[in-house]
Structure 1
């Protein structure tokens, strides 16, 4: 077991501005009309890490060093987040984001050794905290085989129990645009040969925060902009480009249940929200 004591509590602060150009590109990416409201989920496109290209590793992530790189295991995945929306963001806001490593934990799973890193983010406008988030990242060993798993069939799942439903087929341009918005150079999202041969996936992998953003957009369509006070999601399985996914949701009083469902009827992402 490694000693992560020196990493716990490590913080960094980044700065950004919510510009009209960012708002227009974000809305264009998810096919949302542009309004004066700043969509919930746009905060994932702010205060981004910006390692030089020369410092990137084989997978597209920074090879070593940096705030979120104390782990030697090569495969990294954003597993879950829990977000509190305290105050709506506005166009022109000067943003600062304070990120702090809350915990690092080693475990063993079916796929081998795992390391879970929990990071707390505070997105601030001046001295006011607008968004609080606890993010969980998992690091894994290299893929044991390059043979891809089978893609899901083209069947349509039974969605009768869900009040809100939207089918989306994540295209390569959608994945590319979202990676550009978030300055994410992880190759599993744009380099199909790498995703298949090196990481053992059957195709390009849909970004977890993109699916979470699409769920937030579904909630905004049904409830109105900036209605959610909290939102949490957990990835259950990967989704792949050019394979249909189903965004679903239902409301009971102030509680919202959301999910991304695959063609086989299994949950790809589970989410909860409150208004």
Structure 2
């Protein structure tokens, strides 16, 4: 690709384009040609937040739309021939000057690329530092959240244990109260002989609303105890009645004896009075 002594170069690396021995690619939107590896590296180094552009004209393009160029050659240039050309051109001051200018342009381009990549790297480092700080904050917040969650779980566990303990104590107290209420109801059933049928049934069914058999058993036991108490009271009443009868008889005999004693006393007092009168005469 030579024309009137000039050569085609890659605008990225400023090396000669050798279509026969090198892989070349062209940007489809503008047609500029570059070394394939140079163009692909150019696209790779483009920041992700910017559109990919042509290195020469800056038109928007993408790596997947760059096309490879294929050339056919009718002659082969050997390394010896190329070396001979380079030796011949080194003897021409004008060619050397152009070579120096080309190399200077290449260095300038490389420096520009280096500066651009350095700036991009600095931006990436700043962005990386920023994200690292965000990650640190997120990790700190996550650690605090985990600590708070752990503390809340421990507190919830303690409160759950306290609640379960209180619930069991309340259950025991409720059972104890129910036992005392049943005992009191049984005592009323046994001791209060004036209870009506409804009230007796209510007392017997206390704590046994859904268990009719147990209520009937309580009523049966209460009835047996009441009958037994009734019989015992009847026996006591009979004993007291017989004792009262005996005491009444004793009382009558004592009153009769007292009456006789009073009569005897009056008789004695009357005899003494007569004797006194007679003695005065």
TM exceeding 0.5: no
Shorter-chain TM-score range: under 0.3
Higher relative contact order (CA 8 A, sep 6+): 1
- State TM-score, norm by structure 2: 0.16
Structure (1 or 2) with the larger CA radius of gyration: 2
Higher helix share: 2
- State TM-score, norm by structure 1: 0.16
Higher strand share: 1
